[in-house]
Chain A
Amino acid sequence: MTAPLECARMQPDFSQIIQSVNMGILVLDKNLRIVFWNRWMEEHSRLRSGEVLGRDIMELYPNLEKKGFRWKAETVFKMGNFAFFSQQLHSHLIPLHLARYLTADFEQMQQNATLSPLRDPLGRVEYLCVSIEDATDSVIYRERLESAKKDLEVMSLTDPLTNLPNRRHLMETLEREISKHGRQKRPLSIAILDVDHFKNINDSHGHMIGDKVLAGLAGIFPRHLRTYDFVARYGGEEFCVVLVNTAMEEALFVMERLRAAVENETFHHEGKDIRLTISIGISSNGSSGDMSMDRMLNSADKALYRAKNTSRNRCEVAPAITPL
């Protein structure tokens, strides 16, 4: 007798498998009454099979109403498709305690749940199988990864949201250009620009769209700046442009052009058309070229403040500085 044949004859006890598997399995009839509750469910819900059989699951766990469980279950019975409750959108389907005492990151178990059709011999959907997977560990690892990524980002030079150079990169670049331009006595300008009424955008459309708008804005900068202009994300809704070999007058021309372009641009996100304006403060290193980084940033900042306090959607220049 060959081994495969031997194995084919040995039929394992399938009910033991379902009871020993590391996942919650429960079965509901068309009225959403529980007809099967495996051992994992007993252990985690602290309800014995005998206590729950025949009960309406919506009654047992009223939170299911808020999750749209009934609607999804109906689609499975009516159309025979699968349905899903992802941890990322729902956290959990059924509130269960974590059987963990050493790590207390979550109070409740994070879960991914799948609803699948169980058919009769004629192929009609007879029962609904709900399988629940404990995703808490994956979530913890994912969150740790996110936090490690954030640490890495601080050390890196790119802002992840806009793909522009980040603040650290800006500072290094600015330092370098200021000393270079100072030595060579060449004009250098910087501009700080800030989205007007950004808080309103976040409040009316949500932070996710606010972020996308910033990314979108960063995306159009190259079109309206010169190829050798360096633009970085300076703060939440602030950007800084370093204009090398550029005196105040030309810097104003370039930034005014950008300001107008932004005013005329429409950003499309999730079916909404969003318009915005920017305020800009510009400063230059002056004819003697001996401005420090702090002073340049400071005076651009003051100019920006003036722009915001007058009409917004405008460029303001710092007054010419006489060398000390």
Chain B
Amino acid sequence: MIELTEERRDALTELLNIGFGRSIACLAEMIGIFIRISVPSVRLVRPREIVDILAQAEVDRHEITLIQQSFRGEFNGEAVLALPGKSGHTLARMLESDCGFRPDMEPDKLHMEVLLELGNIVIGACLGKFAEILDSLLSFNPPQIFQDNIRLDRLKQAVSFPDYGALLILTSFRLEREEVTGYMFIFISSEFLETLFTSVDRFLDDLK
């Protein structure tokens, strides 16, 4: 039965909270700064709505960088790390200087590589932990920079989102001393919701 019951929503929120906590701990360790995390919100949406949700989250005043990564396994989907305004650039700079990831590349390429690696690690840590708790394993595709510094209204026009229903998980973080915020969206295709919910139900049963 594909219904996002209150219990399932609670469980998903909690499990993704744990996954995201690990992402942030990784990031915090790499750049040595304390990061504030928000409670994740979980709902069933159409991917097209991501732009409206981003607008509500008040990022529409800035340009935005999106780092996307698909995953597959027991359930398939894609995750997007959204970095508004200068956040992407600031984080990339911090990663380069603070954790010794400095391959010998031209500045343009290095910037892209660092952003991709950032997305790869944050998304990988979150979903990896999430899958681990549900006793399953996920494989990941290479991350891609979806749009680099594009204004939100242009994003609506430029991107054609497929119209399948999806489970949308939204969570955000903010760096304490810098003007850096980020949002992570995880879409899980509706075809896989049944399998996912079965896993979640199994997890819930073990608690009783």
Interface residues on A, range: 20 to 34
Q: Which of A71, A212, A270 contacts B100 (CB 8 A)?
A: A71
Q: Contact at A79–B124, with CB atoms within 8 Å?
A: yes
Q: Which of A75, A116, A270 contacts B89 (CB 8 A)?
A: A270
What CA separation (Å) do A81 and B122 show in the bound complex?
A: 10
- Say if the beta carbon of B109 comes within 8 Å of chain A: yes
Residue in B closest to A76 when the chains form the complex, CB atoms: B124
**Chain B interface residue count, Cβ-Cβ cutoff 8 angstroms:** 34
| Given A116-B139, A206-B108: A79 and B121 interface contact (C-beta under 8 Å) | yes
Q: How far is the CB of A88 from chain B (nearest CB, A)?
A: 8
Q: Mark B149-162, 1 if CB is under 8 A from A, else 0.
A: 10000000000000
Q: Contact at B142–A66, with CB atoms within 8 Å?
A: no
Residues of B126-182 whose CB lies within 8 A of A: 128, 132, 139-140, 142-143, 148-149
Q: Mark A110-131, 1 if CB is under 8 A from B, else 0.
A: 0010101000000100000000
Q: Which of A71, A82, A90 contacts B124 (CB 8 A)?
A: A82
- Say if the beta carbon of A271 comes within 8 Å of chain B: yes
- Say if the beta carbon of A86 comes within 8 Å of chain B: yes
What CA separation (Å) do A68 and B99 show in the bound complex?
A: 12
29 cross-chain CB contacts under 8 A:
A66-B104, A67-B103, A68-B101, A68-B103, A68-B113, A79-B121, A80-B128, A81-B121, A81-B128, A81-B140, A82-B120, A82-B124, A82-B139, A82-B140, A83-B117, A83-B120, A84-B142, A86-B116, A86-B142, A89-B105, A89-B109, A89-B112, A90-B113, A112-B142, A114-B142, A123-B132, A269-B149, A270-B111, A270-B148
Residue in B closest to A86 when the chains form the complex, CB atoms: B142
**Given A80-B124, A123-B132, A268-B63, 17 more pairs with CB closer than 8 A:** A66-B103, A66-B104, A71-B99, A71-B101, A79-B128, A81-B124, A81-B125, A81-B140, A82-B124, A83-B120, A89-B109, A206-B107, A208-B108, A269-B149, A270-B148, A271-B90, A271-B93
